[in-house]
Amino acid sequence: MAANDKAANIQALADRGFSSLTGACYLLLRIKKRALAKPWLRTLDIASLTQAPTQHLPQVCQIAFTAAGLCALSTKVTLRAGFDRQRTPLASARRRRRQCPCPLAQGHRLAQATCSAAQAASCMVISGNTLTTTTTPLSRKPFGFADSVSQPNYNWDGTLTPGGARDRDYRNLLAMGELLLGYPNEYGFISDYPHADELGRNGSYLVYRQLAQDVAGFWQWLACQAGDGMVGHMLDGAPLPGLESATIMGTDDPRNAFLFGEDRNGCVCPIGAHIRRVNPRSSDDPEGRHGFLRDLISSVGFSGASTACPAAVAPTAL
């Protein structure tokens, strides 16, 4: 069966990036009284794929439930059995704290209308964030790289035969079971999902993570790593981590106590690195006995005690 035939039952988030929106606000709620919460939930305008085919929407509401949340809304004792173990809150509070040691960011300027309505419906606001906006183009990652180039498409038309020999070759089209519950995945299997009233079918699992990306730190680290790889050692002269340590006759400098014998392919120190080009050591012969550059025993050194990557260094001509 084709998933696009059920577009009205699938939240738009499954296949839409909402490029017209420049911000997002997330609310984590706990249901306290079923009788009050259910009528309020029915008033929410949850955008489906049918409502958001291609046009830009001024605002979008999407919703997800934990296993505990669904059980709080239903009187059916068998509902929880439809979830696999990792989806249900079986871990102790202490274990959950170890897995998530940092509390979710709290915000005071939440979507006040939604919060007030949720509280009136006996839903306790556990956490939330301010309306986060971004000026980064959606076609770019925060680090500046182009995004979504390799984003796979999904077989909404149901033309694939998951698990069959014809569909084993690599393609940029995934079986619907990799996204939605109730459909075969790439192996031809259907994952477990709550079957009560077809509750789980056409749904999916949502992971909510709180992450921070240090853009400036990334580029500074990259500049240091690129420089180390081009020269062949650290800024203070220390060998690159992962090179073979060895006692070198004729020198007692620990910064010079390394060989390339276990790095024949340049996975640690690039083949084109400066220090490797001027002094390949034993890399022309891993045994280190018959290399034609064996007599080249001096390597180029660079002074400087600081191991920190300089923020800005003026170019110097030789």
DSSP H helical ranges for the chain: 34-43, 67-73, 93-99, 112-120, 215-231, 274-278
Q: Is the pLDDT of residue 124 over 80?
A: no
Q: Is the pLDDT of residue 303 over 80?
A: no
Which conformational region is residue 139 in: left (phi greater than 0), alpha (psi within -120 to 50 degrees), or beta? alpha
pLDDT value, residue 176: 92
Count of residues in the chain:
318
Residue type, 80: R
Distances (CA, A) of 158 to 6, 87, 98, 185, 195: 12, 28, 42, 12, 21
pLDDT value, residue 180: 92
Sign of the Cα torsion 69, 104, 151, 13 reads positive
Between 144 and 317, residue with greater pLDDT: 144
For the residues of 153-218, what is the DSSP string, one character each? EE-TT----TTSGGG-S--SEE-GGGTSTTS--TTS-------GGG-STT------------HHHH
Q: What tens digit of pLDDT does each residue of 224-254 get?
A: 888 888 888 888 889 999 998 888 888 889 8
DSSP SS3 for 259: strand
Task: Report how far apart the first and last C-alpha atoms of the chain are (Å, whole number).
Answer: 69
| Rounded-to-integer distance, Cα 16 and Cα 57, Å | 11
Count other Cβ atoms within 10 Å, centred on residue 51. 15
Stretch 68-72: mean pLDDT: 82
pTM for the model: 0.64
**pLDDT bracket for residue 261 (50, 70, 90):** confident
pLDDT value, residue 268: 92
**pLDDT bracket for residue 315 (50, 70, 90):** very low
DSSP SS3 for 118: helix
